[in-house]
Amino acid sequence: MGLSRFGGLVKGLGVARRRPFATSTSSSSSTAAGGGTIVRGTGSKSLNLYSAINQALHIALETDPRSYVFGEDVSFGGVFRCTTGLADRFGNQRVFNTPLCEQGIVGFGIGLAAMGNRAVAEIQFADYIFPAFDQIVNEAAKFRYRSGNQFNCGGLTIRAPYGAVGHGGHYHSQSPEAFFCHAPGLKVVIPRSPLQAKGLLLSCIRDPNPVVFFEPKWLYRLSVEEVPEHDYMLPLSEAEVIREGTDITLVGWGAQLSIMEQACKEAEKDGISCELIDLRTLLPWDKDTVEASVRKTGRLLISHEAPVTAGFGAEISASIVERCFLRLEAPVARVCGLDTPFPLIFEPFYMPTKNKILDAIKSTVNF
């Protein structure tokens, strides 16, 4: 099946031309980034992360007839079952399979979004997003800028499962978020839990900018929590302090937050008070929240699965040193993946584990 398949799809679309953390679910509402509303209600259900993603996609398709979901194998549910039931409910004109061509998937999504639609493109594994790199970085990210805001593809959201899974090896375990954080015009978002995934994904789909939404596949079934059943959104570019402390600030995102939380609890046994921040949006990231925390604690540790060299932790470190140099009591610590291709049998040695983070916490506090 070649790329001509995409042309056939267009004709039938009728497109419009123009480890879980506890999070409050009490009734309230406020304004999210991009003008969206964060809605809270009492009705909730225990969901794992892939089910929360599935629920968000159901809501997106139900509330906006201009929304489309497409990618490799999505019509039968996808390899992680995130799109289960969508084609049955909304039909194969709005939820459909594509050829095995990531460049074509994203290019098609850019065109669909440029015509005034909400295009939700799935890349089966983040490791295979690189054939679409040119479309994402040179087309989607620059579409609005190069036209002087006459045209845009802001309705594009690219979903991709990222990170370690315990047995993925070189090509099913990578964390490529830093590559896309170097592209002005994109937003990059990574959730840590089911409740966060649903609210952030709906915000991404409705945001007026193209978004790359990385999903921590390790947590698809492992992370379970109470998730509001109704439509709600969480703000983009707004970090969340999920554990308050006074001695050191820890910053992370996605699946790494649960590992960092374990290290914080262990450090507390030794009398070290850790403040833990979930960045949630990496581009553009919430510098003010991190700065305020570091000004309070005087210390910063960043942890992510991606290799340490040129990982996004380096950008956080540089920015906070610029802003908080006179308040720092120790060098900024980074506990990250190693500078090697992602290994298979040696994955436990590669990963930024609880013990590695705990050692770095103690070294930084005792500097």
**Residues recognised as catalytic:** 102, 172
The token pair at 11 is 């004709």
Q: Which residues contact 345 (CB under 8 A, 6 or more apart)?
A: none
What's the 3-state SS for the chain? CCCHHHHHHHHCCCCCCCCCCCCCCCCCEEECHHHCEEECCCCEEEEEHHHHHHHHHHHHHHHCCCEEEEECCHHHCCCCCCCCCHHHHHCCCCEEECCCCHHHHHHHHHHHHHCCCEEEEECCCHHHCHHHHHHHHHHHCCHHHHCCCCCCCCCEEEEEEECCCCCCCCCCCCCCHHHHCCCECEEEECCCCHHHHHHHHHHHHHCCCCEEEEEECCHHHHCEEEEECCCCCCCCCCCEEEECCCCEEEEECCCHHHHHHHHHHHHHHCCCCEEEEECCEEECCCHHHHHHHHHHHCCEEEEEEEECCCCHHHHHHHHHHHHHHHHCCCCCEEEEECCCCCCCCCHHHHCCCHHHHHHHHHHHHCC
Angstrom distance (rounded) from CA 277 to CA 293: 9
